[in-house]
Amino acid sequence: MNTENKNSFEWVWYVIGLLTGMLAVAAVTFHIGYIFLGAIAGLIFAGIFLNSIVKGREY
């Protein structure tokens, strides 16, 4: 039986990735299309961070 931790804060890393991706692109250009691409790239890096670097680590 698979039980999920109810105190999981993985969503925080996705929000941090989203915001930093947006802010990094906004620092270079204010074109709204590129800001959305930066947000997507930030989400991808947050997913890679959670699934490969800290996978299996207990807090």
How many angstroms separate the Cα of 39 from the Cα of each of 5, 10, 20, 50, 53? 27, 17, 8, 17, 20
Half-sphere exposure of 37 (CA within 13 A, CB side): 8
- Average pLDDT over the chain, rounded to an integer: 85
* Residue pLDDT, tens place only, 38-59: 999 999 999 998 888 877 766 5
Domain holding 33, by residue range, is 10-53
Any domain includes 16: yes
Q: At what angle do helices 32-48 and 10-28 cross, to 10 degrees?
A: 140
Any domain includes 47: yes
- Please state, in angstroms and rounded to a whole number, the distance separating the CA atoms of residues 9 and 6: 9
Please count the structural domains in the chain. 1
DSSP 8-class letter at 54: S
What is the pTM assigned to this prediction? 0.75
Any domain includes 39: yes
